Amino acid sequence: MSPQIGKPQLEMNRKSFESTPDEDKLTANRSIELEPEIENQIIETEQEFPERGIPGNKLGPVIGVDDAGITSTGEVGSSIRFWAGAPYSERDTAPFRVDKDGNLIATSVQITFVDEQLFSSSGTWTKPAAGTLCRVVVVGGGGGGGSGRDANAATTREGGSGGGGGAYIEKIFRLDDLSATESVTVGAGGSGGAGVSGSVGNAGSAGGSSSFGSFLSAYGGGGGDDFGAASKSGGGGGGTGGVGQVSQNAADSLGGSPATTAGLAGSGGEGAGGVNADAGKSAEYGGGAGGGFATGAAAKEGGGAINGAGGGGAGGRYNNAGADGGKSNNFGAGGGGAAGGVGAAGTNGAAGGGVTAGAGGGGGGSGFGDPSAGNDGGDGGAPGGGGGGGGAGTNSTSGAGGDGGAGQVRCYTW
């Protein structure tokens, strides 16, 4: 039977504990003498917490505090055996507690890393001397946005579509399973399409792939493009198995592998697909797709991603604003770099931090008047944000597509 706070426990502690042959094969009587100050503390505790004289040991009252404790299996009405951060009466909801089956519940956990290595360019990870586990986060580069079209006032002038965001992948390794060094590759952001005079705009290039040794890879987003008067999709988001497809003429674009169908949102590691004449789709670990464009209509937003990077927004057609880029931690379109209004460039996407990827750049606004230059799309935020599309120009130059954000590799050891 477990000792209890109360007279029976006090008598046992003051006098003696007798072991019988049936219990432990010992026949000697063992006398336990307490120091006077400890005995007095037990007496004071006994008087302060008389209601605690029920089966179970409660550490808090014994040491004179009431925000932590231990209970025995004899405790009635609660499965909690250890708790901290709450009084005894609230032990079932304490912020730290362990139940009778050994399950640990902690609502506030702080881990102190013994080593952090952040790579914004390719290099070599070196195993630290201390630590047990290593969490590795890898993000691919964002695709560059397409530039807008420049033509005379009698010709339809459209903006470029946005580039797709880079994919995100992470894993926790046992430090013993990693080599003394591991190679790290950081994918570059795709270049935005250059502005043009008197012609259809240029495509942006795809973002590069990032990797940690042979263990993890995250691929880049596809580039945006411009197809003159035709509707278009944005660049597909990068996947954990392949690069997103470049913007398509009057068709949906395919997100990076393992995606298999164009124009759909990405689940798992699938990159999001770009949608003809509509906003980019969103993804889970893949990147969000760039924003598309419908002939004669407003530019469309870049898609977001729960973990991956956001796609860039499309650039504005003549006398129209661009569209916002997508962002990380958002399963929906927009919310990233702000669109440029008529006569204004798109805003760069915000950089990510911690475990958040970058946002897509906003699409650049068109010019107004004849002649007038289109405005540049915003750059994607690192890591992995897609570049915004450039705005249309008239008898001048079109806006350039924004560059995609570079990838990144982060390693946290504890």
Per-residue pLDDT tens digits for 160-169: 999 999 999 9
- The tens digit of pLDDT for each residue in 364-382 reads 999 999 999 999 999 999 9
CA quadruple 282, 283, 286, 290: dihedral, nearest 10: -10
pTM for this model (two decimals): 0.78
User: Average model confidence (pLDDT) for the chain?
Assistant: 86
Considering only residues 76 and 189, tell me which one the structure prediction assigns the higher pLDDT. Answer: 189
Query: Is cis: bond before 383, omega within 30 of 0?
Result: yes
Considering only residues 259 and 112, tell me which one the structure prediction assigns the higher pLDDT. Answer: 259
Those residues whose C-beta lies under 8 Å from the C-beta of residue 19, and which sit 6 or more positions away, are 26, 27, 28, 29, 30
Q: What is the mean pLDDT of residues 120-136?
A: 97
Q: What is the pLDDT of residue 65?
A: 53
Please give the order of strands across the beta sheet that includes 408-413.
115-119, 408-413, 133-139, 168-174
Query: Is cis: bond before 61, omega within 30 of 0?
Result: no
Question: 318: closest CA among 269, 372, 243?
Answer: 372
Tell me how crowded residue 391 is: count the other CB atoms within 10 A of its CB.
Answer: 46
Question: 219: closest CA among 228, 211, 230?
Answer: 211
How much of the chain exceeds pLDDT 70, in percent? 82
CA 270 from centroid of its chain's CA atoms: 15
- The tens digit of pLDDT for each residue in 328-338 reads 999 999 999 99
pLDDT class of 75 with cuts at 50, 70, 90: low
Question: 158: closest CA among 226, 253, 233, 246?
Answer: 226
